[in-house]
Structure formats: C-alpha cells, structure tokens
Chain A
Amino acid sequence: MTFRTRLLIAFAIAVVVAVAFVGAVVSTATRRAFERLDEQRVSALAAQFHQEFLRRQREIAERVKDIAEADSTRDMVIALSRPDADPSAYVDAAQPLAAAHNLDFLELISVTGSIVSSAQWPARFLYQEDWVTRGTDWNAREPFLKREDLPTDTALALVAVRLASVGDSKLYVVGGEALDRDFLSSFVLPDGMRALLFREPQSIAGASGPIPRTAPLAPLIDAVRKQRRELTRTVQWSADAVDAETFHAIPLIGPGNGPGKDPGAGDELMGAFLVGSSRGPQVRLERFMLRIEILVAAGGILLALLVAFWTTARITRPVEALAAGARAVAAGDWRTQVDVHSSGEIGALAAAFNQMTRDLLEQRDRLVQAERVAAWRELARRLAHELKNPLFPLQITVENLQRARAAHPEQFDEVFRESTATLLAELGKLRGIVGRFSDFAKMPQPQLETVDLNGLVRDSLKLFEAQMQAAGVALRLDLAADLRAIQADPGQLGRALQNLVLNAIDAMPAGGTLAMRTAPHEGGVRLEVSDTGQGLTQEECDRLFTPYYTTKTHGTGLGLAIVQSVISDHAGRIGVRSEPGKGTTFVIDLA
C-alpha cells in the first residue's frame, strides 16, 4: 500500500469519525430534546389525572354525604332501628338513590354490616360487609379506591363512606364511581397520547374498551406491582420503533377487600393509570433528521475525500520521487538525483537524499580506487612472493658461473652445463607462474552446449585415478540416473571439476574418501564434491573463493577463484560447508 493510499485512508477515517461524532452528538441532543418534550406532555397528563382524581374524590364525598343526610335516608335509619324492622322493605332503595345522585355504586349497609340494599348488585341483600363496621370516623375520611364485585365482573371504584345517623341509630352509605371508560374519556388528550386503566389482575382498557394486546405492558405492570410508585417505561408494540410508546404508570392503591383490612389504609395495588405517549412522530422525525445527517455527512465525506486526494497528491509527490530515487539507487544507479522543490522536512529529506547519492558515488569511486590499489598491491605481493623463489637460484647460479669463470676456468664448462640446466629449470618455473596468472586473467566467455554432467564427472575423475590411488584416496560415486542434461561449456566446467577434485585430493594427504554426488535440484542439477580431510574453519570458508587466498603451502590461491568464476559464468551458485575434522563439501547448483 502506497504512502499516498495510507495517507488518504487515514484522512478518510479521520473525516468519517469526525462526521460520525458530530452526527451522534446532534442526534443525541435532538433525541433528548424530544424526550424532554415527551416527558413534559406525559407529566402534564399525569398531573391532570391527579387533579381529576381529587375532583372526583370531592364530588363523590359530597354526593354520598347528600344521600346520608337526605330525609328519606333518615326515615330509613329510624325504620330500621325499630324492634320489628323489616330490612326487606328497603331492598330496592339503593338503585333510585344511586341514579338520582349519579353514582355507579351505592350500598346501604346496616349497623351490623348487613347490606340492606345494593344498587350495583341488588341480589346481594343481607350479605355482610364487615369492613365497613371496622372503620371509624368515616365522615372525615377521603374517598378511597375499592374493588367492587359485580354480577359478571369486578370494577375498580372510587368510593366514599358516610354515616347516616339519627340519634344512636346508624346506617352506612357507601357510594362511588367506577374508574372506567367514562373516567378515561374525561381526560383531554393531545394527538398521539392515550390513557389506559389497568385493573388487577390483568385487565387493561382504554376509553374505547379493552386493548387487544397487553403483553408488551406486562414488564411495566410488574415493575409497578413491585415498586408501588410512579414509573415511566418505553413499550415496544412491534419490531418497528415507530410503534413504540412511552408509558407513565400511576399506581392506584387501596385498602383491598380482605378480612381484617383497615378500610382507608391504602396497602394493596388495585390497578394503575397509564398515560401513553406515542413515540411515532418523534421516531419519524428522528429518522428524517438521520437521513438528512447521512446525506450531509456523505456529501461532506465525499468533498473531504476529493480535497484529501488533491492534498495527499501534493504531499506525497516528493515522497514518491524520493522512493523512486531510492529504488534507482538500490538498482545500482548511484547517480540518481531527485527533483524536489519543497520546503520543510520533505525538502530537507530530498536534499539529504541527493547529498547521500553524491557521497555514495564519491565513496564508491574511492573504494574502487582503493580496491584497485589493494589488488595491485596483492598482485605485486604475490608476484614478488612467487617470483622471489625462482629468482634466488637464478641469482646463485649466475654468481656461480661468474665465480667459476674467474676462479676455476677449467671447470667452467662443467659448471656452465650444470648452471644452465638449473637456469632453464628455474626459468621453466617462472614461465609456469606467469602462465597461471595469465590463465586467470584470460578467462573467456563459456561456449554453451548440451552437456551430461555425470559424464563430465566421470571424465574428470579418470584424469586423477593414478594420483588418487597413490594418495590412498577412495572414490564413492552417487550419480543420479535421471539427471537431465545442462547447457554448459564442457572445457571450463571440466577444468572447474578437476580443480575441485585436485583440491580434495590435496586435502587428504593421508588418504580418505572422495565422494561425488549429482541430483536434480529445483529444476536444475546439483553436484556435491566431498572429502574426508581435516576440514576448514568458518573464517576459511568465508575467504575460500577470494583470489590468491590459499590454505595450502604451494598453492597460488587462484584454483577456487577460477572455479567460482566458471560457475558464476554458467549462472550457477557454488557454496561450501565444512567443519574442522569432518571434511569439506562443495555444492554446485546449475540451471
């Protein structure tokens, strides 16, 4: 991945992250604003419920009080207090009273707790309502919530108890209104809001009747049951968030109807008033804003990317020029210079690069010159070393001839003959030395032809059979039968093999085993030449192919250099592995 691509990606990521962050902040702030608005609407309706509840409490208390204080009720109290009282005479009294005072529920209960008349369930005459006899000071108590049993149902009622008394005679008047659809219909609801009434155990109805699905409200109802306080929850009616609704639940707590309950002491959850506010408009608005945000963000990102593309191009152009220059240097073109007109770090870097290539050129030139000097010095040292040995006998022999001519003329001929023979011999040595140097200097380009490497190995070994036998060297051949032919110069490659064989024989003066192996290798062929001599150190291995380096006392140090030169000219590789005391193996890979 190019530096420009990386820079572009980094820039794009930075832009996207920044846009996403801004979008999230805007969305969150918008949603919170809507939620606050929604909470305010729900709170307003909850407050309306509390006010309506209080108003109804006052009205119910007033109506029930009116009934308790009516003359007809007082007559009833007097009649029922007589010894021969017949409560059955009043069994139908409650219904007209309830209708006249606009009450949904009305029961007239004797001082013993026996129902004299019931408007909501006339057939319950003479049933006991003991809870009313346990209460005290009913006239001072506020209306409370009560569950009213009806013939086919149970209603949640807001009831008041007032005592009708004449002297010592009493009659309990229990009247109230149902918290039902009419109650819910009395609320003024803005669009998107509704009021529901939950009644234990599981009835939930709105102003238009029972709602078809109650399961989504169950968690809220359970929470109200446990916590007995006003709670707000979001209810999901479907997978679509548009159908979600925020509900505020107001628990309706009353005394319950169980025996031993203290009427008026609210300790039993009888239901809950649920104020629902649809989240549909909010969600739709949020989605609209989100679409706008996405469009704006996409446009911004696109514009930012275009700017980034242009900017990164400007930023990376000098870097790309530097990279191209570096690649050229790596390819050997040390004369490369980058044309960068930039200020700052990139400009300094380009100047440093150009200075570096100039320095490299100068250093290379100096190094080449130094190497040349060193090579000439080495050559001179070698030549001096090689030529010094034959020159000394030549000097002695000439001096002997001079001395014999002067001192022993009679023996001069004899001395002359011996001396010339010696001179010729030493001159022959000098010619040999000069020939080897000449051969190394005159390595020609290989003339490639199809060559059977196994045959070349066998031919080379034949030249050294006698020498190997004399040196006590055994031969072990391991030549691959399926070895393919290679393109090589048989003369040069044969001479390289001969050098390696001779080198191996020289490494085993006390005898040993010479092993030669050929095998296919990576599409080409591999040849290994191993001896069992005393081996080489790692340092010797590292310098083994250096010209004029030798570990032998009589070598010129050119044999292995010639072998490496031949193999290199054949586009092959040569390597050596050796350990002291374990022999040496030369490995040649040819294509």
Chain B
Amino acid sequence: MRGGQPDAGPLRALVFETLVRLDAAGAPQPCLAVSWQHDAAAKRWQFNLRPGVKFHDGSPLTAAVAATILAAALPGATVAAAGDSTVAIRANRPLADLPLDLAHNGWLETGPFRPTAFDPGHRATFTANADYWGGRPFLDAIDVQLGRGLRDQLADLELGKADVVEVDPIDLRRVQGGTGFSRSVWSSAAVRLIALAFQPDHPSDPRLREALALSIDRAPMHSVLLQKQGEPTAALLPQWLSGYAFAFPAALDLPRARALSNALPPAGRTLTLTYDPAMRAARSLAERVAVNAHDAGLAVQVSPQNPHADVRLLEVYLTSLDPAQALAGFAAALGLPTPSTGASLAALYESERKLLEGFHAIPLFQLPILYAASRVHVDAPPITRLGDWRFADVWLSGTAP
C-alpha cells in the first residue's frame, strides 16, 4: 500500500504523510505539496508536489499516483493529475478548507520511517527511511510496545526502559518530579473528551440527569486531578476547534441541582457510575463526581467496568479536524443521536446544543494527549495537534544529531 486512510493514532505520522501539515497554530503548511492555488470560488485547486519524494517501496511520488490516492480520500471532488507534479482538484461546491482537510486526509506512505515489524496489540518496529525527502531521520529505528497501560509506561520511563511514553495528567507531577535524566512533556491540543454518558438503554429521569450535570464542580477536578491540563468544558467539541465551546455553561449550580434532586422520589436519586480502570484518572474523577452528586442529594455508586451501570465515564478522542465530523464522532462514541450536518458554524452549534440538551451526555473536560520523554532532544515538541508523532528530527542523548 502506498497510501490511503490509515487508522488514526500517534504512529500514523511516522509512516504516512499528507500534502499539507498543520503547524502548532493549526495553520496549513507545505508537506508533500510545496504550494497550492485555487480560483476565486475555491472550487478549483492545484497542488504542486514536492519533487524527489519517494514511497517506501522506492517508487517516485507522481501526480498520477497522488491523484489516485486523493480521489479516494475526497469523495465528491474530482482529482486528476495536471502534469507530473501537479494535482488538480475540482468540486461543484466551494472547498474553502481543502488544505485543512488534506492535513488529515489522503495519507501517502512516504514518511520518515518504514514499518518493519508489527505484532498487533503488542509491538511495532519502524526503521529509518534513508530515502526520506527531508533527509534520513536521526533515529535508526523506533521500537513501540503496544497495549501497555499508562502506569506501566510511566514505570518504563522511570526505569529507563522507554524513551517516550504517554502519561496521564494525574501522573504529571511524578514525571516532572523524577530524578535522573531530564524529562520533557509534550502536549497535543485538547483532543480527548472526558464525559459522562447515560446508557441509552437505561431510562432515566431528565431531572436526575440535569441534577447530576449541575452538581459537578469541574474546577477542583481540573486543578487537582488533571493538573490543570486541558480545560473544563460542557461542550463536545473543544474550544480550539469549534470556537463556541465557551457558550456551553459548565458552572456549578448546586441549588438548582438540589431542587431537581428533591423533586425526585427517593428511589430515583440513585445512580451507578462505571469507568474504565485503564484510564488513569477515571476512578478519581468518578469518585469526585459522586462526592459532588452527594452534595446535591444524589447517591452515586462508583464501580469499575460495570456493564449495567447507569452512567459511564468515558474518554473519547477527536478523530477529525473537521468539526462536523468530529461532532459526529463524539456523538457516536457517547451513544447520542447522529447530529444533523450543516455547513455554518451556527448550524454546528445548534446541532451540538440539541445533542446535549437532554443531558444524556455530560462533557467534563477537554484534555490533550501528553507524552513524557527522557533523553530525547528536540527543538520543538515533535507531535502534531492531534498527537501524532513526528520524530524525523528527534535524537537521543548520546547520539550525534
């Protein structure tokens, strides 16, 4: 395979590249395409390919090959080669955000590392691509252990068994307070949504759901448990992506929560809340939610991995930089109805508001993906906004850059 739509994940960017990449501010920057133009209506686009780029199999990146791969990634658009190094894209509607779309669509296997071994769920090995258009990576190979818990990853880091691990905000102080090699923490944009989701097949009183939502005091959890990473939220989409997340009130309203709780029959004031213990901060967050609910007169029983629980504490990853697609992804993950699609920001806001108005899902926090690195030297955090690894320019202590 020389291109397509690989599974989302931090390793994707080691192997695959897109025509455009986003910088730290989210602005499109040249990658496999060195430049692009469009007409006034933004219906016709031309992307000029970087010369000298080769796929991992050694074949050159041509406009024809790129057009074929992009055509599959851009349904509704006509993609064709316009010469050896230019790809033309046309559509019947304006494609104003096409560079943004192409930052996470149309993946081409031209990345700085080649996958050399893959044991699903256990291990993946990548070796440096000597023919990489940006020059051979400093690292010879990357050995990735898959399916390892965050706690174990942290131990691996502390024991020097790993150079880069994913960490949970709850462990940040431990990472930063460690001794030995200097450690750095890399943070993606807020792409993890922590939310409570009522089971769709469990009928619940709307007053109960609202009372629970209004009883939650997010600030202490954010400052203590999450070490002020990310942001408290009552919206599904992060502020940086939608721009309107602040319009969803996340403030504590204990009097109203108590009033709603008191209106319920005593037997209707109980809930069971479950969480995935693999999520490091989940237990602490769930128990804090139970404490907050207790203040409102609700009895919330917390238990891990309880399939019969009324409410689940979930973490959902942002899967697309397209707000509409991202919203649909969150809705599906939380068991909410599929939102209606709309082109405008107002329509998007309205869709999200309707999704949340019944309190079937209660967003709590938008968190970044955090990586802790030891012995790793880099000029800038080598991860994308979505947390993808860009390790082409990374080197380790003791190795010459």
Name A's B-contacting residues (CB within 8 A).
Answer: 87-89, 91, 121-127, 149, 151-152
Contact = CB atoms under 8 A, between A and B. Distances in A.
A88 B301 contact: no
B358 interface: no
A87 B287 CA distance: 19
A121 B291 contact: yes
Given A89-B173, A152-B301, A125 B224 contact: yes
Interface in B285-309: 287-288, 290-291, 294, 301-302
A149 B291 CA distance: 10
B227 A88 contact: yes
A87 B291 CA distance: 19
B211 to A, nearest CB: 18
B280 to A, nearest CB: 13
B37 interface: no
Nearest to A127: B291
A122 B284 contact: yes
Nearest to A115: B220
Contacts of A91: 224-225
B341 interface: no
Contacts of A126: 220, 223-224
Contact of A87 (B224, B294, B301): B224
Interface in B191-226: 220, 223-225
Contacts of B220: 125-126
A128 to B, nearest CB: 11
A581 B113 CA distance: 163
A89 B302 CA distance: 24
A125 B288 CA distance: 9
Interface of B: 173, 220, 223-225, 227, 284, 287-288, 290-291, 294, 301-302
A151 B224 CA distance: 19
16 contacts: A88-B223, A88-B224, A88-B225, A89-B173, A91-B224, A123-B288, A123-B291, A125-B220, A125-B224, A126-B224, A149-B294, A151-B287, A151-B291, A151-B294, A151-B302, A152-B301
Given A88-B224, A91-B225, A125-B224, 9 more contacts: A88-B173, A123-B284, A123-B287, A123-B290, A124-B291, A125-B220, A127-B291, A151-B287, A151-B291
Contacts of B173: 88-89
A87 B223 CA distance: 9
A376 B98 CA distance: 174
Contacts of B291: 121, 123-124, 127, 151
Contacts of B223: 88, 126
Contact of A151 (B225, B227, B284, B290): B290
A127 to B, nearest CB: 7
Contacts of B225: 88, 91
A89 B225 CA distance: 10
A126 B227 CA distance: 14
Contacts of A151: 287, 290-291, 294, 302
Contacts of A121: 291
Nearest to A121: B291
B221 to A, nearest CB: 9
Contacts of B284: 122-123
A127 B220 CA distance: 9
A192 B301 CA distance: 39
Contacts of A87: 224
A122 B173 CA distance: 18
A122 B283 CA distance: 11
B319 to A, nearest CB: 31
Interface centre among B227, B288, B291, B301, by most A CB within 10 Å? B291
B291 to A, nearest CB: 5
Nearest to A114: B220
Contacts of B227: 88
A221 B371 CA distance: 60
Contacts of A88: 173, 223-225, 227
A583 B5 CA distance: 152
Contacts of B287: 122-123, 151
A125 B290 CA distance: 13
Contacts of A122: 284, 287
Contacts of B224: 87-88, 91, 125-126
A124 B284 CA distance: 10
A124 B225 CA distance: 12
Contacts of A89: 173
Nearest to A89: B173
A87 B224 CA distance: 8
B149 to A, nearest CB: 19
A125 B170 CA distance: 14
A29 to B, nearest CB: 54
Contacts of A149: 294
Contacts of A123: 284, 287-288, 290-291
B353 to A, nearest CB: 30
A321 B223 CA distance: 117
Contacts of A152: 301
Contacts of A127: 291
Nearest to B288: A123
A127 B287 CA distance: 14
A123 to B, nearest CB: 4
B101 to A, nearest CB: 40
B204 to A, nearest CB: 21
A122 B225 CA distance: 11
B282 to A, nearest CB: 12
A512 B225 CA distance: 139
Nearest to B173: A89
A-B pairs with the 8 shortest C-beta distances? A88-B224, A123-B287, A126-B220, A123-B288, A123-B291, A91-B224, A124-B291, A125-B224
A527 B275 CA distance: 121
Nearest to B223: A88
A433 B288 CA distance: 145
A126 B288 CA distance: 11
A122 B285 CA distance: 11
A501 to B, nearest CB: 110
A87 B225 CA distance: 11
A90 to B, nearest CB: 10
B325 to A, nearest CB: 35
A124 B223 CA distance: 13
Nearest to B284: A123
Contacts of B302: 151
A91 B281 CA distance: 13
A316 to B, nearest CB: 81
Nearest to B299: A152
Nearest to B302: A151
Contacts of B301: 152
A125 B224 CA distance: 8
B220 to A, nearest CB: 4
